[in-house]
Amino acid sequence: MTSGTAAVTVFGSLHYDITVQSPARPRKGETVTGHSWRPKFGGKGRNQAVAAARVGVRTLMVGTVGDDQFGREMLADLDAHGIDRRFVRVAEGAGSGMSVAIFDAEGDYGAVIVSGANLTLSPADVAAASALWPETAVLVLQNEVPDEANLAAARAARQAGASVILNAAPARAMPDDLAPLVDVLVVNAIEAAAMCGVTEPASIEEAMAAARRLARDFPAAVVTAGSAGVAYAARSDELLIPARAVKVESTHGAGDEFVGHLAASLARGAPIQAALAAANDAAARLVATPEHLRR
């Protein structure tokens, strides 16, 4: 299940997802007849933790679920993937986070998220998990939980000597105190455009320009640009990782797969180019896998 003592800690969201297969996503005021639906486990935090654990790196999860059936099933899912969830809190009086994602015939999707218990994650959860910070090599954060919770987790991890990856998704304004605690920023083209105030990058060259701009505020920035590839910029280094040509079954979760594999590779001590290449390959494999065959 694990190798060595290096550990990835994911601090973030847990959602119970319902996925709907449809010929097209509805426009405003439109009802579309779908083909099928099924439940699955998600949340950026959960997905990234599962991706890291799949690599074989010891993976820990800090998050919250509701005191409901969805919550109980999500805890069992973490257990099934060998993820240490001692510090996943059951929030009394709050429903579990959930989402509904609608996939069209091309494999693209739109989703609605109800955060539920995830919004109760707080600095108190960081303090309660004090035993795990010395065990953490890489901390992974996302934007599906409150900013003050992310900030507290980043401080605790950095004080313990861990590196911090921030997947700034969904895009939103960032607390001024958080950026100095982040070692690697990871965003997709849409999020990069929102953070840089530019048009969404449509080529690898435009993705690199966005990564360079973000690297002014972070030690390193990664911009994933789908079929255009991946751009990495640091203050003393730049890398372009070409996309793998695959038949797209679904893009859902590709970013989380990338982040989880990147964190696991870095926790193992891989150089950044090898870690980015491994993450890019993992995301491509996921994109080429039909939704119903994914775990």
Choose among 264, 252, 261: nearest CA to 15.
252
Q: 97-103 and 109-114: which strand pairing?
A: antiparallel
Active-site residue, from 17, 125, 183, 256 = 256
Q: Which tokens belong to 172?
A: 């939103």
- What is the DSSP secondary-structure string of 68-93? SHHHHHHHHHHHHTT-EEEEEEEETT
Choose among 53, 119, 42, 127: nearest CA to 84.
53
Number of CB atoms found within 10 A of residue 201's CB: 25
Is 256 labeled as catalytic in the residue annotation?
yes
Choose among 170, 13, 8: nearest CA to 91.
13
Q: Answer yes or no: are the C-beta atoms of 95 and 118 closer than 8 Å.
A: no
Between CA 236 and CA 223 the distance in angstroms is 17
Residue 56: phi, psi to the nearest 5? 110, 5
Catalytic site residues?
Answer: 256
